[in-house]
């Protein structure tokens, strides 16, 4: 119930305008978002790398509606990647990109061209790009764009969402040599026709997908904070004889930092997904939808500016 309220809120531009003016304490946003500027993102990235973690940076923004906005997002990534290169932060830091932010809904070809420019900048910096997964209406287009990008930039990563009924088949397609696949549960409100609805069914699907990726030839990126799934992933890595550099764990900035540190101290590769930028609203609403404890934190900080 709470989940659907926050997911509906994440798509409301009227609520977004209200939230931007509301007395939301900076600490609420700061808990999940590195800051609004590229400098903030670089500072957090350096700190995480110094702590033995790796990073994927997300320039916040989705549902770009004009060509100019798409160009601005592309340019923000290209600048970020140049700064990561010059600051010696690549390859420990890569970037995550939403094709909707690059104008996928206005013109798929344009979004592809912008993604290509970002992949070229990443290659120049010695790092990679991962294409985020958005709602199910975009999955085919995103995977087609991924295939085209991988022809020239083979390390470009995909994100697959375990809650989608199609994802086991997509895992089989993508569990090939050189293929980087981030497996997450999925963060959008999706209809029963395309997605498992109960937490148990999603968890079981996650394990089936994990088995396919861990037993395949690609590079699995296990994106979850769920202790049971983390333990199962560690078990499968042992079972399929994967060395510590043949898969990685990924978690969101601000979520279970002590677990991130524990896994890294145990020799695991841990990548923290670090969002930054002004357009934090949709991202923050999806985080609140995931976890009642996040809502309690949000509520406490509404009154403690």
Q: Binding site annotation covers 187?
A: yes
**Candidate ranges 120-128, 172-180, 237-245, 249-257; the one touching ligand FDA (CB under 6 A):** 249-257
Q: For the residues of 194-258, what is the DSSP string, one character each?
A: TB--SHHHHHHHHHHHHHHHHHSSSEEEEE---HHHHHHHHHHHHHTT--GGG-EEEEETTS-HH
Q: Binding site annotation covers 185?
A: yes
Task: Rule CB under 6 A: say whether 224 interacts with ligand FDA.
Answer: yes
Task: Rule CB under 6 A: say whether 11 interacts with ligand FDA.
Answer: no
Interface with ligand FDA (CB under 6 A), residue from 35, 103, 186, 218: 186
Query: Nearest 5°: phi and psi at 249?
Result: -100, 150
Residues 29 and 301: their CA atoms lie apart, in Å, by: 10
**What minimum distance in Å lies between the beta carbon of 114 and ligand FDA?**
18
Task: Rule CB under 6 A: say whether 291 interacts with ligand FDA.
Answer: yes
Query: Nearest 5°: phi and psi at 27?
Result: -65, -25
Task: Rule CB under 6 A: say whether 213 interacts with ligand FDA.
Answer: no
Helix, strand, coil percentages for the chain (3-state, nearest 5) = 55, 15, 30
Q: What is the Cα Rg of the chain in Å?
A: 18
The rounded Cα 156 to chain-centroid distance in angstroms is 13
Please answer whether residues 64 and 70 qualify as being in contact, where contact means their C-beta atoms are separated by less than 8 angstroms.
yes
**What minimum distance in Å lies between the beta carbon of 38 and ligand FDA?**
20
**What minimum distance in Å lies between the beta carbon of 286 and ligand FDA?**
7
The catalytic position among 58, 74, 116, 132 is: 132
Task: Rule CB under 6 A: say whether 181 interacts with ligand FDA.
Answer: no
**What minimum distance in Å lies between the beta carbon of 77 and ligand FDA?**
16
Give how far Cα 272 sits from Cα of 105, 200, 290, 298, Å.
Answer: 28, 25, 17, 21
Task: Rule CB under 6 A: say whether 164 interacts with ligand FDA.
Answer: no
Q: Binding site annotation covers 287?
A: yes
The catalytic position among 74, 180, 182, 236 is: 182
How many residues form the binding site for ligand FDA (CB under 6 A)?
A: 22
Q: Binding site annotation covers 103?
A: no
Q: Is 132 one of the catalytic residues?
A: yes
Residues 241 and 22: their CA atoms lie apart, in Å, by: 51
Q: Is 46 one of the catalytic residues?
A: no
Task: Rule CB under 6 A: say whether 161 interacts with ligand FDA.
Answer: yes
The strand order across the sheet containing 158-161 reads 129-131, 93-97, 54-59, 270-276, 248-252, 219-223, 180-184, 158-161
In the region spanning residues 70 to 129, those forming contacts with ligand FDA, defined by CB under 6 A, are: none
Interface with ligand FDA (CB under 6 A), residue from 7, 81, 121, 184: 184
Task: Rule CB under 6 A: say whether 301 interacts with ligand FDA.
Answer: no
Binding site for ligand FDA (CB under 6 A): 132-133, 159, 161, 184-188, 223-227, 250-252, 255-256, 273, 290-291
Residues with catalytic annotation?
132, 182
């Amino acid at each position: 119930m709470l989940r659907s309220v926050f997911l509906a809120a994440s798509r409301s531009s009227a609520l977004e305008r209200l939230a931007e003016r509301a007395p939301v304490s900076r600490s609420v946003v700061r808990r999940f978002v590195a800051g609004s500027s590229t400098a903030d993102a670089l500072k957090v990235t350096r700190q995480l790398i110094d702590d033995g973690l790796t990073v994927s940076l997300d320039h916040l923004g989705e549902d770009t509606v004009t060509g100019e906005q798409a160009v601005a997002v592309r340019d923000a990534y290209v600048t970020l990647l140049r700064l990561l290169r010059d600051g010696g932060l690549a390859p420990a830091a890569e970037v995550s990109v939403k094709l909707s932010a690059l104008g996928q809904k206005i013109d798929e070809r344009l979004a592809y061209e912008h993604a290509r420019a970002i992949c070229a900048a990443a290659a120049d910096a010695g790092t990679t790009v991962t294409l985020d997964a958005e709602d199910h209406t975009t999955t085919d287009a995103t995977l087609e764009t991924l295939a085209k990008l991988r022809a020239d930039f083979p390390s470009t990563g995909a994100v697959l969402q375990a809650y989608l009924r199609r994802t086991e088949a997509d895992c089989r397609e993508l569990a090939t040599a050189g293929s980087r696949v981030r497996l997450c549960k999925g963060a959008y409100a999706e209809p029963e026709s395309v997605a498992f609805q109960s937490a148990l069914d999603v968890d079981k699907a996650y394990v089936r997908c994990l088995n396919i990726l861990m037993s395949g030839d690609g590079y699995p990126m296990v994106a979850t904070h769920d202790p049971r799934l983390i333990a199962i992933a560690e078990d499968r890595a042992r079972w399929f004889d994967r060395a510590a550099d043949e898969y990685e764990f990924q978690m969101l900035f601000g979520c279970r930092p002590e677990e991130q540190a524990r896994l890294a101290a145990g020799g695991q590769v841990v990548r923290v997904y670090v969002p930054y930028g002004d357009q934090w609203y949709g991202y923050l609403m999806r985080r609140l939808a995931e976890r009642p404890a996040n809502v309690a934190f949000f509520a406490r900080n509404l009154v403690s500016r």
